[in-house]
Structure 1
Amino acid sequence: MSVTPGIYRLIGCAVIAASVTVLTPSTAHTAESADVTLPDTRVTVHESSADSLKVTSYTVGNVAYLRRSAGFVKQAGYQEITVGPRGAKALAVPDSYDAGRDSVLLADLVANNGTKIRTVTKPSVAKFAHWSRNGGKAVLTTQRKNGTVWETTGFVVVDAVTKTARTVSVTGVDRAARFRWSPDGADVMAAYQGGTRFYGPDGAIRRTLAKTGTPAGGEDVFSPSGSTFTTWCPVTYTEHVCFWDRTSGRLAAKAAIRPKALLGWWDDKHIIAVVPSGNAYRVVVADLGGASRRVLADISAEDWNKKVYLSYTRR
């Protein structure tokens, strides 16, 4: 196993006590709540020890922060960090090439070590990491610049067990596609011409659902049961968020909500959405009808304009 020079920044436990309120362990029967202020922002996260998801990393523009036992720690040299299911591993994307190659850092957050894995060759990049539900692999979207616009060319699969990466070019891929796993990890899916397309591990087309709108929603567009997935509704709909039956491909529900972003699913009946709140924004748990049921975080307009993004991981 090779350890990169930046690994100690990534997995280190630097104390940021002035800006982070550390959660107090819960008792056997009582859920405890705490407010966590994210370093270098005015974002306040409202947490409970009973929650099945929590913020494990976040980015402000191209600067990434990782949650460790002492709080959130800024990770110099990394533009993106995504923690895997149950928090055992993380995948970090650096903000520059190394000897003409892009790469990822696969970090073991339990053993406190990591491995650098090369992905694509300059001028291509591999980013937007999404873990499979069993934590055994991650998929990243590969892009190449066309003028001033980054266009998708395919995907990279990182095997967390063998610590290797495999690049797959996808013919005819949607230029704005972003790849994510199906619930069973057998396929990847992405937007395709206003709909949704599923691909095999070799990039072969397996299924296309037309006119669903583009997939949307944080680390996982699928509900915890895997039965439903989320999209931005087609432009012909009045509603902005749509839910589709994974098996039949039929519309399951439409939410009367106009979020600025979707950050995934809370449970099978609720999603995590960023919505305007006065002159600022809130991250809320919303039901499939669009009604807000709980506030998860408060985000200032200034932080939102800096492109703050909260990454939630299921425990």
Structure 2
Amino acid sequence: MLGGAVIATCLTALAPSAAHAALPADVSLPDTGVTVRESPADPLTVTSYTLGNLAYLRRGEAFAKQKGYQEITVAPGGAKALAVPTAYASGHDSVLLADLVTEKAVKIQTVQKPFVAHFAHWSRDGRKVALTVQRKAAGGWETTGFVVVDVAAKTARTVNVSGVDKTARFRWTPDNAQLVAAHQGGVRFYGQDGTVRRTLAKTGAPAGGEDVFSPSGKGLMTWCPASYAEDVCVWDRSSGKLAVKVKGVKPKALLGWWDERSFVAVLPGSGVYKVVVIDVKGKGLRVLADVSARDWDKKIYLSYTRG
């Protein structure tokens, strides 16, 4: 096992201001053919990515593979990161919480084998991280609940959720108070104790990316219900009513909101996938990256952080 100091050094060099630093126009992603196109004015920046079970963290204007970790997610603002290791230690899963400014890190146990805790999502205030707890079943991995990591206390608390959807993946609400996840073709809101607070039926499952809510918190993005011709839907978080059905767009993946009126999607093409900013009317605004079919088949995932 790597010592804490070595791990901390491995997870360094992303300054808090990196999301709005003077970045080069193109940034290459190691071990892939992907080049991301960036601008200093961008509201989001790729701060980490995964390639299968390999994780890479941004270090200044480049990326470095983080040996022994399968997932790394950077907090809003870029000051901290949370990494999920590839293997159990002493019969437990764990996370590494790293301060990217002080270059210090601490290991925190999460769940006991055979459970795993992964798919980390930061709260907007950077004070907590939610991970989805799963266990292997006959049909694959099934969700059983979530873990909340308290950044200041450096603790983890596991919450078993009764009746949770087997495919649920937990993320935070914009006010950092509750969590949301898919539930039987809709969206369910949970308290941090696992109690059900609200259910929006027949909305479709929450979309992908680090945050399913628009920057203002008003819009909730989902994959539209199967009965709709459209793939991407936006719902009013307060009323639960449909706000927008995005027409003419058939994404392979959704990577989160870009700004209040547009989002990041992965669109298929001829031998290549394009990471594109699309507005809610379905108009493509900008290409952020080209991903070859080979890299896509390796399950590449770009993690965007808001500055």
Counterparts of 1:25 and 1:6 in 2: how far apart (Å)? Answer: 25
Q: Say which SS state the counterpart of residue 164 (structure 2) adopts.
A: coil
Cα deviation code 1:147-195 (max 9, x no counterpart) = 2510000000000111000000000000000000000011000000000
Structure 2 residue 73 is matched with structure 1 residue 72: no
Paired amino acid for 1:263: L
Counterparts of 1:108 and 1:184 in 2: how far apart (Å)? Answer: 23
Cα deviation code 1:194-214 (max 9, x no counterpart) = 000000010000000100000
The corresponding residue for 1:6 is 7
Paired amino acid for 1:7: A
The corresponding residue for 2:253 is 261
TM-score by length of 2: 0.95
Structure 2 residue 217 is matched with structure 1 residue 226: yes
Superposed displacement of residue 52, structure 1: 1.5
Counterparts of 2:138 and 2:5 in 1: how far apart (Å)? Answer: 33
Find 1:296's aligned residue among 284, 288, 291.
288
Counterparts of 1:162 and 1:269 in 2: how far apart (Å)? Answer: 36
Structure 2 residue 113 is matched with structure 1 residue 122: yes
**1:41-80 matches, cutoff 5 A:** 41-69=32-60, 71-80=62-71
Is the Cα–Cα contact under 8 Å of residues 284 and 292 in structure 1 kept in the other structure? yes
* Count of aligned positions: 301
Superposed displacement of residue 232, structure 1: 0.5
Structure 2 residue 178 is matched with structure 1 residue 187: yes
Q: Say which SS state the counterpart of residue 227 (structure 2) adopts.
A: coil
Counterparts of 2:204 and 2:175 in 1: how far apart (Å)? Answer: 22
Q: Say which SS state the counterpart of residue 203 (structure 1) adopts.
A: coil
Structure 2 residue 223 is matched with structure 1 residue 212: no
**1:125-164 matches, cutoff 5 A:** 125-164=116-155
Change (3 A) 1:166 1:296: same
* Structure 2 residues not aligned, in runs of 5+: none
Superposed displacement of residue 4, structure 1: 6.3
Deviation larger for 143-152 or 304-313: 143-152
Change (3 A) 1:53 1:12: closer
* Structure 1 residues not aligned, in runs of 5+: 14-21, 27-31
Structure 2 residue 263 is matched with structure 1 residue 271: yes
Residue identity over aligned pairs, in percent, reads: 63
Root-mean-square deviation (Å)? 1.8
Is the Cα–Cα contact under 8 Å of residues 274 and 291 in structure 2 kept in the other structure? yes
The corresponding residue for 1:173 is 164
Counterparts of 1:239 and 1:302 in 2: how far apart (Å)? Answer: 27
Counterparts of 1:225 and 1:169 in 2: how far apart (Å)? Answer: 30
Counterparts of 2:65 and 2:168 in 1: how far apart (Å)? Answer: 29
Counterparts of 2:59 and 2:296 in 1: how far apart (Å)? Answer: 24
TM-score by length of 1: 0.92
The corresponding residue for 2:191 is 200
The corresponding residue for 2:297 is 305
Paired amino acid for 2:10: R
Superposed displacement of residue 23, structure 1: 11
The corresponding residue for 1:97 is 88
Superposed displacement of residue 87, structure 1: 0.1
Is the Cα–Cα contact under 8 Å of residues 23 and 34 in structure 1 kept in the other structure? no
Superposed displacement of residue 276, structure 1: 1.3
Change (3 A) 1:152 1:202: same
Cα deviation code 1:245-277 (max 9, x no counterpart) = 000000000112100000000000000000013
The corresponding residue for 1:108 is 99
Change (3 A) 1:44 1:7: same
Is the Cα–Cα contact under 8 Å of residues 65 and 75 in structure 1 kept in the other structure? yes
Counterparts of 1:40 and 1:305 in 2: how far apart (Å)? Answer: 14
Counterparts of 2:206 and 2:168 in 1: how far apart (Å)? Answer: 9
Counterparts of 2:61 and 2:274 in 1: how far apart (Å)? Answer: 25
Q: Say which SS state the counterpart of residue 6 (structure 1) adopts.
A: helix
Q: Say which SS state the counterpart of residue 77 (structure 2) adopts.
A: helix
Counterparts of 1:175 and 1:57 in 2: how far apart (Å)? Answer: 27
